[in-house]
Structure 1
Amino acid sequence: MANQMTEMLKGTLEGIVLAVLSARPAYGYEITARLREQGFADIVEGTVYALLIRVEKRGLVDVEKVPSEKGPPRKVYTLNPRGRAQLEEFWTTWDSLTARIERLRTEHLTTKET
């Protein structure tokens, strides 16, 4: 089950992180902590940081270096208009996909009962 969850998350993690950033700007560790609070306990920081590098390169977020109490400055990520458009596309795709999956599930349950 955990392996299946990991595989499903791979395809949706970008949208999930963009959704977290749509609420307010955050740095990498903070994003990971928010995800864990939402029940995504298996997500590791390294995965989130790699994803943040990708979305930054794709121009979906703005980055600001903010002084840190401990160590080097933190990179704070803010969802920009291009990122918001990508997030809207993610939600549209998500709604379509989940509707199809639910239809398949319902049909399977109906067929199983007869």
Structure 2
Amino acid sequence: MTTVVESSGLPADAYSANCPTRDVLDRIAGKWTVLVVDALLQGTLRYTELSRRIEGVSQKMLTQTLRALEADGFLTRTVHPTVPPRVEYTLTELGHSLAEPVRALREWAETHINKIERARQQHRPA
């Protein structure tokens, strides 16, 4: 059964230049998205907890990633009225549906990193 894109009435086809699924693929294939979604599998996390968990992500990139994931419906952002404000992030049902493929990608990368690094070494100029 083919999914129809509601906004255009056309079939969803990621190979088509005008299909909005390309934007979705761009979003979910990003390394920060993969790491944020995977980290949130353990449950609700505060911004600072995510920042500590995902080493190397800049404040700007983490904020942009979280905002985009919220806008796409993958997570919810809850602001608690404290001083300073406490902000928490939780995967939505849609976010949880993405969790297994994301976890599989992360685990695949961790499992195959040595083979990939050896291949890269063989292709470096002498």
Give TM-score, length-normalised by structure 2.
0.57
Residue ranges of structure 2 left out of the alignment (5+ in a row): 1-28, 121-126
Query: Using a 3 Å threshold, how does the CA distance of structure 1 residues 96 and 19 change in structure 2: closer, same or farther?
Result: closer
Deviation at 1:34, TM superposition (A): 2.2
Relative contact order: is structure 1 or structure 2 higher (C-alpha 8 Å, sep ≥ 6)? 1
Q: Deviation digits for residues 61-101 of structure 1, max 9, x if unmatched?
A: 1222212332xx33311112210111212233445666777
Q: State the partner residue of 1:50.
A: 64
CA RMSD of aligned residues (A): 2.9
Residue ranges of structure 1 left out of the alignment (5+ in a row): 1-9, 109-114
94, 99, 103: which one pairs with 1:87? 99
Q: State the partner residue of 2:31.
A: 12
Percent identity of equivalent pairs = 18
More helix by share: 1
Report whether the alignment pairs 1:61 with 2:50: no
Q: State the partner residue of 1:7.
A: none
Q: State the partner residue of 2:123.
A: none
Looking at structure 2, the residues matched to 75 and 94 of structure 1 have their Cα atoms a distance apart, in angstroms, of: 26
One-letter code aligned to 1:76:
E
Q: When the two structures are aligned, how many residues end up with a matched partner?
A: 93
Query: Using a 3 Å threshold, how does the CA distance of structure 1 residues 97 and 81 change in structure 2: closer, same or farther?
Result: same
Q: State the partner residue of 2:18.
A: none
